[in-house]
Amino acid sequence: MPRPPGYPAPVPPPFAAVYFDCDSTLSAIEGVDELLAFAPPTLRAEVADLTNQAMEGTRPLAEVYETRLRLLAPRRPQLDRIGELYTARLVPDAEALVAALQALGKQVGIVSGGLLVPVQHVARHLGIPAANVHAVPLLFDDHGRYVDFDRSSPLWRNGGKIEVLGRLPAAQRPVAFVGDGVTDLETQGTADLFVGFGGVVTRPAVRDRAAAFVATPSLAPVLRHVTTPAERAALAGQARFARLLSAAEA
């Protein structure tokens, strides 16, 4: 794919680290949408529309984020349920891809505008270190009722993922980032390579402007963009990655 105008040239692999968005990238669901199951029916269409506007980039994320959580007011146990749904609906080959990258000695992490507790479920399931997990904490009272979100986190507003990636330690550079939405696309230029993922939802702005784009339902083809031929050859020596390598070339 030709480099989109106005963006720095992407850095080729190898990468010291590969980070992923969570919703519609590692997992096939949008966590906030799943919270709608706990909401009154009258709120569901309104909140779903807000989420779509944020992901398409037609409305500022900060405005959408604050409004959605105020309307939904999630309780603490609901977050664990969303975490269970995240892991049950992992995108095909997500586990194998993470394992392969770690086998190559790369740091793997998550940078998500989602809620921290559910995202931590995904990280634990995939064996991603807690220190490499960045999402938005919620604040609850002593009875588990929603009070607010952590407004010190940059991830509830546009540009937040740029800030998080920009603060990664030198040992995790160069870094590739994989995501589906406009807030992920914003990292292009801060991440040394941005890979757009359209396997769950194809967002035209991401498809058209990402330096690299994967449209298959599987995350396996991401491997081609974030590893060198020599690294893939090293993986080929391990039988557990045979299917991943085959799917990456499909």
Q: How confident is the model at residue 5 (pLDDT cuts 50, 70, 90)?
A: low
Provide the pairing of β-strand 138-140 with 133-136.
unpaired
Q: How confident is the model at residue 6 (pLDDT cuts 50, 70, 90)?
A: low
Name the catalytic one among 23, 93, 184, 192.
Answer: 23
Q: How confident is the model at residue 62 (pLDDT cuts 50, 70, 90)?
A: confident
Q: Smallest Cα–Cα separation from 247: which of 51, 95, 138?
A: 95
d(CA 69, CA 148): 8
pLDDT at 2: 45
Tens of pLDDT, residue by residue over 165-222, are 999 999 999 999 999 999 999 999 999 999 999 999 999 999 999 999 999 999 999 9
Is 80 exceeded by the pLDDT of residue 82? yes
For residue 121, the Cα-to-chain-centroid distance in whole angstroms is 14
Rounded to the nearest 5°, which phi and psi values hold at 55?
-70, -30
Q: Taking the model in full, what pTM does it have?
A: 0.92
Whole-number Cα distances in Å, 182 to 55, 142, 244:
6, 36, 27
Token pair belonging to 151: 């407004």
Q: Identify whether the C-beta of residue 87 lies closer than 8 Å to the C-beta of residue 27.
A: yes
Tens of pLDDT, residue by residue over 150-180, are 999 999 998 999 999 999 999 999 999 999 9
Higher-confidence residue of 4 and 180: namely 180
Name the catalytic one among 21, 180, 184, 192.
Answer: 21
192 is catalytic: no
80 is catalytic: no
Is 50 exceeded by the pLDDT of residue 1? no
Give the residue-averaged pLDDT of 1-26.
83
In the CATH scheme, what architecture does the domain 17-248 have?
A: 3-Layer(aba) Sandwich (3.40)
Q: Identify whether the C-beta of residue 91 lies closer than 8 Å to the C-beta of residue 219.
A: yes
pLDDT at 92: 98
DSSP per residue, 126-185: HT--GGGEEEE-EEE-TTS-EEEE-TT-GGGSTTHHHHHHHTS-GGG-SEEEEESSHHHH
